[in-house]
Structures are given as C-alpha cells and as structure tokens.
Structure 1
Amino acid sequence: MPTLETYLGTILWHYVPNMPLAIVFTILFCLVSVAHAWKMFVTKTWFCIPFLIGGIFEVIGYISRAAATNATGSLIPYIFQAIFILLAPVCFAASLYMVYSRVVRAVHGDSFSLISPRWATVVFVSGDWTCLNIQSSGSGLLVHPKQVAIGTYIIVAGLALQVLMFVVFMFCCLNFNSRFRAHVAESGATSDVPWQACLNMLYSTSLAILVRNIYRVVEYIMGKDSYLQNTEWPTYVFDAALMFLVMIGFFIWYPSQLRPTTRDSMIELTADGESSAEHGRTVKPSMGLSIFPLFRIFKLLTSESDR
C-alpha cells in the first residue's frame, strides 16, 4: 500500500497522489493532444505549436503524478509533475495571443485594436516567455529544501505577472470586439472570417486559464500547511479539468481559417462592404525587423503575422 515517504528528511507530498485519477487525465490529455497534432498538420496552423507543446507538458505532468503514487519519496516524479503542470498553461497562452493578432489581421481591423496586431503578438508572447522563465526558475529551486521559500516567491511572481497579462489581454479583446462590432453594425460590412466565434473562444479559454492561475497564486501564497496543498481534489478541479476544457474548446473552435494561406480570400471590411480589390488597391501588412534580441526567439512562430 502506498505510503508517504521523505526525501533526505524532507516531506515532498502531503498526501498520496491518486494513481487512477492521474492515469485518467494522462489518457485524456494524450488523446486531445494527438487530436491537436492532427488538426495542426492538416490545417498547417503552425502558430499552434506552443498549444500542442502545452498538451504534451500536461501528459508528462500527470504521468509523473501517477508514478509518484508508489514513490512519494522520489524527487524526479515530484519535480516533473510540479514543473510541467505549472508551465503548460503558459504554452496555451502563447497560441491564444497569436490567435488574437490573426483575427485582427484577417478582418483588417488594425485601426480598431488598442495594440497593432504585429506588436500584440510580440508584446504578449514575449511576456509569456518571461512568465515561463520566471516560473521555471522558481520550480527549479523547489528541489533544494533550503530554497523552497525563495522558489515559491518566484513562482508566485511569475503567476501574478501572467494573471496581469491575461487581464490586459482580455481587455484588449473586449475593446476590439466592441469597436469592431459597432463598425460592422454601422457600415453593414461582411466578412467570411468567423471573427466573433474566434473571440468567443478566446474569452472562454482565457477566463479558464485566468481562474487556474489565480488558484495557483492562492495555493502558493497559503503555503505548504494550507488546505489547498494538503488536499488533492482542488488540483484536478481548478487545474486539470479547466486545462482539459481549454484544449477541448480550442479544438472545437480551431482557428484554422486564420492561417496566412487563406488571408487573401478574406473580404476586407470597408464602409460600403466592398473589398479592397474593388477599390483597386492591395493591402500588404508592413514588414519590419525586430529591435530586441529576445523577439528573435519567436521569429518562427510570429513571422506569419508580418506577411
């Protein structure tokens, strides 16, 4: 029978992880990740690569939780589940940020967005990368008993920054939605882009990730002796289940119509509902070089936004 053990005299777990539950979520995340991989390759939506990576992180995390059931004194499964489950939503967020930029570009609604789509991708994804580095650095310190408190503070800082970014991101989405909807109602313009469905998907998935991040902030702030860290069910309710729903929602309302190859077929919204081609002009998003070295990290994933 599984029992709680210690690692060099330090208690890693305050409960014995539920193996059947961990296996169930491992299978669920594995299935939905395979579905996302298939969808991504079929539609060639390469900007969804971070989302797929997030799904793989979830699989690794819950496999590690299952393995920890009979090895509560082993450091590797404990660290693996802590790091990969913690960082998966950061990867999900990266693709959500890029979806917003592509929605704006697809309907040629740059003037209705608080941040230009090109810079929205750079700013939010760079911020996401920062959150990833902060949280992974904090997670790395959890392996050292004397630095657990410092690691926890760093993780909380990374999560708090991610919460702030999501609030700003959702405000940008809502502001664009309101202004663009007013433009459509006033002009009677039409588009073959399902922009409202994509925005609704962003609202629901972003809200789920926001709730999860707030839960994690509260969990780490309350400390090792808190109810949240001494009870397993909140992890599955406020993290595993929410992230699984995020992956399901993203798959159902997959942003495949936002890939660059279909952008030429989009109808540009104008005051009289005519396309720019009928006005004898072609819209070409401006090209530009990144001015910060960090942005080059995302060049492959964001280059489609600048085409």
Structure 2
Amino acid sequence: MPEIDTSPDNGRGGWVPYLYYPSVPAAGIFVALFTICAAVHIFRLFKYKGWYFIPFIIGIIFEAIGYVGRIGSHYNFNSLGFFIMQSLLILLAPALFAASIYMTLSRIAIALHAEQFLVIRARWLTTFFVTGDVLSFLAQSSGGGLMAGGKPDSAKLGQKVITGGLFIQIFFFCGFIIIATIFHRRLSTSPSHAIEKVKGRKYIWTMYAANGLILIRSMFRVIEYIMPHDGPLLANEAYLYVFDATLMFIVVALYIVVKPYGDLFDEWKRRKDAGGLELTRR
C-alpha cells in the first residue's frame, strides 16, 4: 500500500479520511453478519408484525452498508463518498437500535399488567426517550457531515458536535437504565406478580444487556472523538471492530435469540386493542 500523506501539502491541509487503509476482510465479515441478521429480523418483522422494531432493523441495514463503505474506502482511499457512507451509517445505527429498545419497556410493563411500577407513565415513556434519541441522532448526523467535509477545521468542529450528540445519548441511556431497574425491582418484590416476574425475566435482562453494550460503545466513541483526529483510537482500526462492530453485532444477535415478539408482546397487543390508551393512563 502507498504511504498515507498527512503533510499540509496533501491537498486537504493535512487532513486524511483515515490513518490506515481499511481492512477488507474485517469489513467483509461484518457486512455478511449484519446482512444475515437483517434478513432474519425482516422475516420475523412481517411474521409477527412487530412494527415497533422497524428502527432497529434500519439500524442493522445501516451497519451492513456502513461496512460496505469501508471496503469501498480501501479501494478508493480518498473518496469522500465512501468515507461519509461508513462514517455516518456506522455512527448512527446504535441510535436506531436504541429507539426500538426504548419502546420495549412500556410494552413489557403493559403485557405483565405491571405498568403501575413505572416511574413515568407508559404512554409518556416511549415519547420521552425516543425524543432524546432523535436529538442525539440529529446531533451525531450533523457532526458526521461536518467531519466529512474534508477540511481540518470542519473535522474538528464535527468531532465536537458528535461528542455532544453522544453525551445526549449516554444521558438518556443512563436515565432509561435507572427507570428500567426501578421497574424491575418493584416487579420482583411484588408478591402478586410472581408469575409475571418469571414471564418477563428474559426480556428485561436482554434489554439490560443491549443497553449496556450500546452504552459501552457510546463511551468508546466519546473518548475517540475527544482525542485528536490522529489519536490512538482513530488511528488504529482494531478498536473500531472491538468496541463498536462486535458489540453492536452482539446486540443484534441478542434480539435474534430472545425474540422481541412472541407471547409476551401478543399480550401487550391484546390489552392495547382491548383497552386502547386507557391501559397506559393508570
């Protein structure tokens, strides 16, 4: 591979999209993994009609296309199109995962006849956290656009904007985990909800695991973007695959093993159809 020119005379004031040539085998593996997972989730989406998981599936598709962009960057190193593709799609996919995960807690609570244990009314819970997720999404996407401008000054500003968006994401993640933990504790200590506690256990722990993995990934990204463009995390591709690609694949795989549909969510739909929004106003 030719040496990467980071001198001020390289035509972009010293800025380069990468400090390495993206690995084709590594990207190819995750293109295949995310594509297979997307196919499984899409099949189940239409089979079980779990439409609230559409953002999650779009996130999986973002991941797959993002790693295609990294393959394109390997063969066309200076292409801003491939750089923007991989940068934005891989960056934004977890925000879409989060949007669907935020919707699961109120559904679990209603399905278990335990919405009274929520700190925030079920009807407002999803709205509150998805709104925060949208704010994070918008901030990260605008920051990614600035970073893709190909100029050192805009890249630095873009890093700051992305960092702000990631802090918003972390703030809402932490708040969601606290509310979910309070709900779980109240459900577990309620003597009249012993059966519901057992029914909801795997869904609640899957939600914890997914949130924890996305939180670790977001913290990694914050540290990455706080550092300069030539910092060790951005300069070493391995960190991306360990703390982003692998963690996000585990999140996607978790919701294949523990389906976000099935009997529990059939009960949520039955109660919703029977009582409408009155179910969530208690």
Q: Normalising by structure 2, what TM-score?
A: 0.90
- Residue in 2 aligned with 1:30? 35
Alignment pair present for 1:179 and 2:186: yes
2:193 and 2:171 map into 1 onto residues whose CA distance is: 36
- Residue in 2 aligned with 1:298? none
Q: Secondary structure at the match of 2:195?
A: coil
* Preserved CA contact (<8 Å) 1:193 1:257: no
Paired residues in the alignment total 272
1:239 and 1:178 map into 2 onto residues whose CA distance is: 30
- Residue in 2 aligned with 1:296? none
Which residue type is aligned with residue 47 of structure 2?
V
1:106 and 1:89 map into 2 onto residues whose CA distance is: 26
Alignment pair present for 1:126 and 2:118: no
Q: Secondary structure at the match of 2:259?
A: coil
1:8 and 1:199 map into 2 onto residues whose CA distance is: 52
Instruction: Provide closer, same or farther for how the CA distance between residues 8 and 41 of structure 1 changes in structure 2, counting only shifts above 3 A.
Output: farther
Instruction: Provide closer, same or farther for how the CA distance between residues 187 and 156 of structure 1 changes in structure 2, counting only shifts above 3 A.
Output: same
More helix by share: 2
- Residue in 1 aligned with 2:277? 285
Query: In the alignment, which of 28, 41, 66 is matched to residue 46 of structure 2?
Result: 41
Query: In the alignment, which of 67, 81, 87 is matched to residue 76 of structure 1?
Result: 81
Identity of aligned residues (%): 35
- Deviations along 1:148-185, whole A, 9 cap, x unmatched? 111111100000110111111111111100001111xx
Q: Secondary structure at the match of 2:119?
A: coil
Query: In the alignment, which of 88, 93, 98 is matched to residue 93 of structure 1?
Result: 98
Q: Which stretches in structure 1 are left out of the alignment for 5+ residues?
A: 267-281, 288-304
Q: Which stretches in structure 2 are left out of the alignment for 5+ residues?
A: none
- Residue in 2 aligned with 1:228? 233
Alignment pair present for 1:150 and 2:157: yes
Which residue type is aligned with residue 35 of structure 2?
C
Structure 1 residue 4 displacement after superposition? 3.3
Instruction: Provide closer, same or farther for how the CA distance between residues 220 and 258 of structure 1 changes in structure 2, counting only shifts above 3 A.
Output: farther
2:209 and 2:194 map into 1 onto residues whose CA distance is: 26
2:30 and 2:252 map into 1 onto residues whose CA distance is: 13
Instruction: Provide closer, same or farther for how the CA distance between residues 121 and 82 of structure 1 changes in structure 2, counting only shifts above 3 A.
Output: same
Structure 1 residue 283 displacement after superposition? 5.3
Structure 1 residue 106 displacement after superposition? 0.8
Instruction: Provide closer, same or farther for how the CA distance between residues 2 and 201 of structure 1 changes in structure 2, counting only shifts above 3 A.
Output: farther
1:188 and 1:25 map into 2 onto residues whose CA distance is: 41
* Preserved CA contact (<8 Å) 1:103 1:258: no
Q: Secondary structure at the match of 2:215?
A: helix
* Preserved CA contact (<8 Å) 1:62 1:81: yes
2:270 and 2:26 map into 1 onto residues whose CA distance is: 46
- Residue in 2 aligned with 1:52? 57
Instruction: Provide closer, same or farther for how the CA distance between residues 223 and 35 of structure 1 changes in structure 2, counting only shifts above 3 A.
Output: same
Instruction: Provide closer, same or farther for how the CA distance between residues 88 and 167 of structure 1 changes in structure 2, counting only shifts above 3 A.
Output: same
- For the aligned residues, what is the CA RMSD? 2.2
Query: In the alignment, which of 132, 136, 140 is matched to residue 145 of structure 2?
Result: 140
Instruction: Provide closer, same or farther for how the CA distance between residues 203 and 260 of structure 1 changes in structure 2, counting only shifts above 3 A.
Output: closer
2:226 and 2:55 map into 1 onto residues whose CA distance is: 28
Q: Normalising by structure 1, what TM-score?
A: 0.83
Which residue type is aligned with residue 231 of structure 2?
S
Structure 1 residue 76 displacement after superposition? 0.7
